[in-house]
Amino acid sequence: MTGIAMTVALHIVLVYAMIHGLARKIVEVVLPPLETKIIEEVKPPAPDKPPPPPPPKLVQPPPPFIPPPEVRIQMPVQAAPAITVSPTPPPPAPVVIAPTPPPPAPAPAPIVLATAPETIADSCERPPYPAAWRRAGEAGEVRLRLQVEPNGKVSEARIEKSSGFRRLDEAAREAALECRYRAGMGSDGKPMRAAVTKIYIWRITD
């Protein structure tokens, strides 16, 4: 117990000494006195002044140019002598005698259609007339111009008069192209190409 009491007392003495004595010395050691020095500013020597520039040379301007007066001399104009050349008459043109053209060949006599084409029975079917077209009020007359070849087939079907409805016109034209004919005969007794008219009437019936 005595040793413990002495140790505690020793620590108290050290703490007191450090607070009051050693702290000042530490501060004095740590904070040395500051020394200040005054440095005088040294001014650089002034540069030498340059010598004054030489006076400018005065150049006298050249005397003004005065053009000499213009003197115009009017010379008499002499007309050039006229030279008259008499035209030389052209030589006479040679006389060319054109040969007499041969008489034109007589045109062949046109072949007159002796008999017109005739429709073969049951070869021209009536085109369909759907109920939807009738309900839509599509009706009218279609007139076609057909070209019948010597073999009796229709090569062309042209609409001369429209019904006013495209579907009716196309149906009539397609049906006419399927028709077959007995070809028309010419005056020479041979079958020939001929035109016929075919009419389709589209009528709404109850």
CA 105 to chain centre: 59
DSSP annotation of 188: T
In order along the chain (206 residues), what is the average pLDDT of each group of 10 residues? Answer: 83 77 50 56 59 69 68 59 57 65 72 81 86 92 93 92 94 93 87 91 84
Sort residue 10 into left (φ over 0), alpha (ψ -120 to 50) or beta. Answer: alpha
The model's pTM is 0.45
Angle (CA) 21-25-30 rounded to 5° is 145
In this predicted model, what pLDDT tens digit does every residue of 91-149 receive, in sequence order? Answer: 666 665 666 777 777 766 677 777 888 888 888 888 889 999 999 999 999 999 999 99
Average pLDDT, the chain: 76
